[in-house]
């Protein structure tokens, strides 16, 4: 058996622990990515029970955002004077928001960070 000084052996052990810690962190991150990618990809397909009454559109959009835990952004110029359709039942997020916006001349887009943007239905897709 080789005779290493205490400092050399401690340094080797420290490097080994650091290497294992880094590997563990990388594996944990990869596992997280693999688990969350399918969830995010299917978030709009998952159903949720909605119970949002017909009301001024700006209020309905706030209620919708609160129920799904997402930011919904809409200009007051687009929502003023418009009423939402009621949204009730077990629906996907896409179905619920499409139903809410029926007859308003508006549509929604989802930004890369998950924020829902309300835009004019005549606006070109981004």
Summarize pLDDT for 77-108 with one digit per residue, the tens.
999 999 999 999 999 999 999 999 999 999 99
- Written as six digits, the tokens of 61 are 């959009």
Residue 113's pLDDT is what?
A: 86
**63 within domain boundaries:** yes
pTM for this structure? 0.63
Q: Are residues 27 and 84 in the same domain?
A: no
Q: Are residues 58 and 114 in the same domain?
A: yes
Residue 95's pLDDT is what?
A: 95
Summarize pLDDT for 5-33 with one digit per residue, the tens.
566 766 776 666 556 555 444 444 444 43
Domain of 55? 47-120
More confident residue, 32 or 122: 122
Lowest mean pLDDT among 25-34, 40-49, 109-118: 25-34
Q: Are residues 27 and 80 in the same domain?
A: no
Q: Which of these, 104, 73, 75, 71, lies nearest to 87 by C-alpha position?
A: 104
Q: Are residues 51 and 109 in the same domain?
A: yes
Q: Are residues 13 and 52 in the same domain?
A: no
Tell me: pLDDT of 46 over 80.
yes
**Which residues does 16 contact at the CB level (< 8 Å), separation at least 6?**
none
**Distance separating alpha carbons of residues 60 and 102, to the nearest angstrom:** 13
Q: Are residues 51 and 37 in the same domain?
A: no
- Written as six digits, the tokens of 115 are 């924020």
Q: How confident is residue 45, by pLDDT bands cut at 50, 70 and 90? A: confident
What is the tally of structural domains in the chain? Answer: 2
Region 60-76: mean pLDDT is 92
Q: Are residues 77 and 18 in the same domain?
A: no
Q: Are residues 85 and 70 in the same domain?
A: yes
């Amino acid at each position: 058996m080789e005779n290493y000084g205490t400092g050399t052996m401690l340094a080797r052990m420290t490097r080994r622990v650091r290497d294992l810690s880094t590997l563990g962190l990388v594996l944990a991150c990869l596992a997280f990515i693999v688990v969350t990618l399918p969830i995010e990809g299917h978030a709009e397909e998952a159903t949720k029970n909605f119970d949002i009454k017909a009301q001024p559109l700006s209020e309905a959009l706030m209620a919708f955002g609160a129920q799904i835990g997402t930011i919904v952004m809409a200009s007051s110029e687009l929502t003023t004077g418009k009423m939402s359709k009621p949204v009730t039942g077990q629906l996907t997020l896409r179905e619920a928001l499409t139903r809410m916006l029926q007859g308003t001349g508006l549509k929604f887009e989802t930004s890369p960070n998950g924020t829902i943007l309300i835009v004019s239905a005549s606006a070109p897709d981004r």
